[in-house]
Every structure is written in C-alpha cells, then in structure tokens.
Amino acid sequence: MGKVRKMIASGEMPAHRGPEFQQLLIDACARVLCHPIVASNNYLKRFAEGVTEAQARHECQQFSIFALQFDVAQAKLVSNAPTEEAYVERLQVLLNEKGIPYKDGFEGELTGKWSMDTVHFTWMRNMGRGLGLGFEDLGKVWLALPGTKAFVDATFNYYASTDPNIASGAAFAIENWAANYLWKPWIAGMEKFNAGRDKPVDLGYLKYHDLEEEHHSQATLDELLENFTEPWFDADKFLEGAENMLTDGVQAYYVSQLETLPDKDDTWPKRAFEPRQFDPASLPRIETELAVR
C-alpha cells in the first residue's frame, strides 16, 4: 500500500482507486489464502509426516502430469500475450522451464545457454527415477487420475484463459498456493522418507521450486497492482479466475489423490480439506473515507 499512496500523492492514481485496491487485497486473501485447499490441506499436512514408497511414487507421478502439461498452458499464454512486454515475460518463463536458466535468481534475463540438465522436467525425472518411475511413467496425460485431469483442464481453462482477468486471477492463485502450502510439506514428507533409505531420492525439483515460489509470492502483489491499473482489469473476474483455479483444479486434485492413495491407513485424514470457515462475500467492505491512511 506504500506504493499506492505514492501513486496517489503523485497524481498517477486517482484517490478513490486506493480504497478499491485495498478491498481487492482483502478479497484476494479471503478467496485465495483462506481457500480451504490452501488454508486446511489435510492431505499435505499428513504427507509432511512421512509416506511409504508407494505413496511417494503416487504423488510424484500424478503431479508430474500437471507439471508437464503446465508448460502447454504457458505456451498458450505466450501466444495470447496482450502486449510485447507480457509476451517477453511469459516466453522467458517457458524457456526457463525448458532448460535456459536465469542469469540472476528466478526472473529477468536468461543466460541463453540450454542444457538438458537444466530442463525442469529432467529434475522431475531424477526424482521419479529414485521411486522406480521411468520416462514412460511421468507427465503423460493418459496416466492422469480424474482429479489430475481436472487440474490440467482447469489450468488450460483458467490459467491459460484468453481473458486476462481470469488468467491473472488463476496465476495469482497458483503462485500463492504453491508458495504458501505445496513445496514445504511435500519436501518434509520426502525428507522423512529419505531418512530411512540407503540411497535418497533426489529432491532437487522440489527444493528449486520452493525457493522460486517464495520469490514469486511477493512478485504476485506487484503484478496485481500493475494489472489493477490497466483499463481492462475487472476485479470480479480476477477473483472468479482465482477461486475457480483453486476449486476446480487444485482442490479436485487433492481430493482425488487422497481417494486413490495406496497404503492408506487410519493416520490419513478422511477428507482432503476442511470446509470454508466463512463466506468471503460476507466480509464488511472498506469505508472509503477510512482507507489509505
């Protein structure tokens, strides 16, 4: 909000837009960070406590399908970029996934040097290999269970939507779900699993993306402010894209993962998430005269 105040003070943003952005942040938090599959993901909480080899393999295989199909969605975003700047940024993300590292950290200029060793799917294959999964066992959409297929479809429908509001909302949801409650519990469960093995499974794929998403989580707020100032931005559609991405995609995936989990005993929860504790639409709205102070 400090940046918003400066924009208002300089005349770059009308004063009435400040409270609107504040309200958008509250709504985004209520719809994304407080979404049941983010705030109360029982499957991942239990996964973090330790898993069997069959359970680790189950998660690696099904997530690999989403991960590889995500690149297809990213390619659609590239082809549908509304501006040259968006085209370059989206293309860099895709090229990085396909093996060209960034020069500094997790965004910006690329090195221009490609290697099969830096293709993200190679890192996924390294993890899969340690769990007895070969190339033919990873990333193939015909291996997708119903929830995984729903996750892939939601990624194409929302994240890769031609409506920039829906797409930006879905991207905000994906980035903040991943940064706040995906990689760390998965890593914790796999580290406990590795502790009992003579030859540990390679966790490079998980640990790289954990660091990457920590960086991207903050960047999503900057991107949200940039999008908010665009004439095409529609807050309701943005929130719709975010909510649908989580409910139709992420939530469907984890419900399916729990239902089909091998070696499941009584220590696993009966449901993948807890019901929503409040209706985001019921939250009080910001009073304009009290906002942006």
Dihedral angle computed from the Cα positions of residues 47, 49, 51 and 55, in that order, rounded to the nearest 10 degrees: -10
Q: What are the φ and ψ backbone dihedral angles of 9, each rounded to 5 degrees?
A: -65, -35
From 1.10.150.130, 3.40.640.10, 3.40.50.970, 1.20.910.10, which CATH number describes the 19-290 domain?
1.20.910.10
What's the predicted TM-score (pTM) here? 0.92
DSSP letters, 224-266, are HHHHHTSTT--HHHHHHHHHHIIIIIIIHHHHHHHHT-TT--T
CA 80 to chain centre: 20
Above 80 in pLDDT, residue 168?
yes
Q: What is the mean pLDDT of the chain?
A: 92
Comparison of pLDDT for 203 and 214, the residue scoring more = 203
pLDDT digits (tens, 9 = 90+) for 74-120: 999 999 887 888 899 889 989 999 999 999 878 889 999 999 999 99
Report the run of H or E that residue 83 belongs to, with start and end: none
**Closest-CA residue to 153 (of 250, 81, 239):** 250
